[in-house]
Amino acid sequence: MNEVKNGMKKTKEEVLVALDALDKNFSEDSGLLSNKEESKEFENFFNKQMYKRVFKPGQIIQGEIIKVTDDYVFVDINYKSEGKIPISEFSHFNLDTQEEMKKGEKVDVYIEKIEDKNGLVVLSKDKANIKKVWQNIIKAYENNEVIKGKVIATVKGGLTVDVGIKAFLPGSQFDIRPVRNLADYVGQTLEFKIIKISHKRGNLVLSRRFVLEKDKENLTVIDKVKEGDVVEGIVKNITSYGAFVDLGNRDGLLHITDMSWSRIEHPNEILKLGQKLKLKVLKFDSEKNRVSLGLKQMSEEKWKAGISKYELGQILKVKISSIVDYGVFVQLDEEIDGLIHFNELSWKRRHNISSEMFKVGDEVDAKIIDIKPDKRKLSLSIKQTRISPWLSIKDLYKKDQEGEFEITSISDFGIFVKITDELDGLIRFGDLSWSKNINPSAKYKIGDKVKAKVLDIDVEGEKFSLGIKQLEEDPWKKLEKEFPIGSQHEVEVVKIVDFGVFVKLKYGIEGLIHVSELSKKRVNEISDVVKVGDKVKAEILNIDESAKKIGLSIRLVESNESKEISKEEVKGKNKTGMMENFFAKALKKSIKKTESQKES
């Protein structure tokens, strides 16, 4: 690079000397060369001096951006022609705004060819970057320095690491102890030592184990550990539930719940691999050689001092730090967070927290409703910062009142409808229809308006219950009159289950014929006896109005039919016997009369 700069400096000086010499031949009035021969002589001299500059393939030289198009960046390196570089090689710039790729920007480029077929110098930005990276890598290797790199993929035998160029990290060189799953480290930036380098082949081999062993030498070996001790360790592995810490001659587990008094979603929010920590020993199992560690306990007194400034009933502006199924966590200060439970978010009863309600980072007003310093828990409420709308709800609605309501959400147990802007009511699935074959998700959707009757208003329990089926008369009250126990009816099979079949009666009501009531004979496969759509004759066995269940039997119908056949057969047999007896008596009487006449 110095050779290039010196060459450029020398060339400029020589050109200036030549210009001074040629100035004597200029006309003071015209400012032009005195003749064509002198002009040609100057041109040849200038080109000759330019070719004396040191421009060789393989050099890295600083150039200046002179033009940017959609496909190329044109760079001037003070050669007789500029070079053009594909814009894709400038991926680190903002391609949308081309903010840094402006005329006059200085860039380092690699000379591939002095001239191509069009007379342009062939330059490369990527090759300049790679060459500079290799220079830094060689320097780090020679000086025994540690470099940083990002793990980008798992490969056979280890990992691929990006240190400006791709390098190989053998699995045996990843840690002091064997690691089960190297894939957990993909995406993490770590420190490495270069243990093998081949510039010609482009090979680079790294070791993380060397770095860890050097750090481990600085740790105090723990011979005896007891609860309450403060120890120093290095984070060696991070998981979703915690981190394993190297304590010198053993590992300890730092659970995610013992990392911070504030709630965190993942340990990597506050920890990094290789990070040195001072920790408190929470529990030591000498038999299993297990050590449980705490990080937040190192600032326990700070937490106690912080919580003392808060009191019940206090209303604060807090920031939402995370959203979970059962509520939202909010940050009061750096050390203390609290929970706003699901039921304390709004006067509306909801079955989930929609993205429209809250986002991480939102600031909300919340009231402190519970403080438990011994359990380090603080509970807050958003809804209690406002007057309860339940206090006036009975002035708006009465029991058995009918109205039209808009569906706001559909849950696993019912449909929520809008009562007021702040309150929702619930229509349970059991109150949608007198029949049980309704599919709420298929029949209703959010935004639909439905007619319903108010069933109950529980101000104290904050419950508003409605029903749709109650708008009609209960068909079960009519069913016993039309389908008395013991009566027989032709019914249609609508569904087959493992324990029997459901049949359609009337008013959308279904009854069950249990598998034991399908036939007098033993039933192995229900489908061998009946199929969906078949019409069968069945007898009403029982009706349970409270449980909304009705049982039927085909077996009883078959049994009754068999009894009728038996009665007819008995009658026939009796009639035949009587006739036979009549003829027998007559014959006997005739024989006796004949014998009497003979004797006389």
Q: Which domain CATH number covers 437?
A: 2.40.50.140
Cα 119 to Cα 142: distance, rounded to the nearest angstrom: 41
| CA neighbor of 506 nearest in space, from 489, 518, 486 | 489
Residues 6+ away with beta carbon under 8 Å from 79: 50, 53, 55, 114, 121
* Domain that includes residue 268, residue range: 219-301
For residues 104 and 6, state if they share a domain. Answer: yes
User: How many other CB atoms sit within 10 Å of the CB of residue 274?
Assistant: 17
Q: Is residue 252 part of a domain?
A: yes
Q: Is residue 356 part of a domain?
A: yes
Query: Buried b / exposed e across 225-245, counting CB within 10 Å, b at 16+?
Result: beeeeebebbbbbbeeebbbb
Q: Is residue 569 part of a domain?
A: yes
Q: Is residue 134 part of a domain?
A: no
For residues 437 and 492, state if they share a domain. Answer: no
What's the pLDDT score for residue 252? 87
Alpha-carbon distances of 443 from 408, 429, 432, 450, 543, rounded to whole Å: 15, 12, 11, 11, 28
Please check whether residue 173 is in contact with residue 151, taking contact to mean a CB–CB distance below 8 angstroms: no
What's the pLDDT score for residue 4? 42
What's the pLDDT score for residue 182? 83
User: How many other CB atoms sit within 10 Å of the CB of residue 562?
Assistant: 11
For residues 445 and 511, state if they share a domain. Answer: no
Both structure tokens of 56: 């060789």
What's the pLDDT score for residue 92? 52
Cα 376 to Cα 365: distance, rounded to the nearest angstrom: 21
DSSP 155-192: ETTEEEEESSSEEEEEGGGS-SS--S-GGGGTT-EEEE
Residues 6+ away with beta carbon under 8 Å from 457: 393, 394, 397, 398, 399, 463, 464, 465
For residues 381 and 399, state if they share a domain. Answer: no
Task: Using only the alpha carbons of the chain, give its radius of gyration.
Answer: 47
Domain edge (last residue) among 471, 499, 534: 471
What is the residue type of 468?
I
For residues 25 and 118, state if they share a domain. Answer: yes
Domain edge (last residue) among 129, 155, 176: 129
Q: Which residues of the chain have pLDDT under 70?
A: 1-54, 58, 91-101, 117, 199-202, 215-224, 288-289, 301-302, 349-356, 436-437, 564-600
For residues 47 and 29, state if they share a domain. Answer: yes
What's the pLDDT score for residue 580? 54
| CA neighbor of 253 nearest in space, from 226, 228, 233, 275 | 233
Q: Is residue 394 part of a domain?
A: yes
- Half-sphere exposure at residue 330, Cβ-oriented, CA atoms within 13 angstroms: 25
For residues 498 and 593, state if they share a domain. Answer: yes
What's the pLDDT score for residue 32? 43
For residues 168 and 275, state if they share a domain. Answer: no
What letter would DSSP give residue 33? B
Domain count of the chain? 6
What's the pLDDT score for residue 34? 46
Q: Is residue 342 part of a domain?
A: yes
For residues 64 and 173, state if they share a domain. Answer: no
- Which phi and psi (to 5°) does residue 389 adopt? -70, -10
- Strand 276-285 and strand 230-238: the pairing is antiparallel
Q: Is residue 57 part of a domain?
A: yes
β-strand partners of 244: 237, 253
Residues 6+ away with beta carbon under 8 Å from 82: 66, 74, 75, 76, 120, 121
What is the residue type of 131?
K
Residues in the chain, overall count: 600
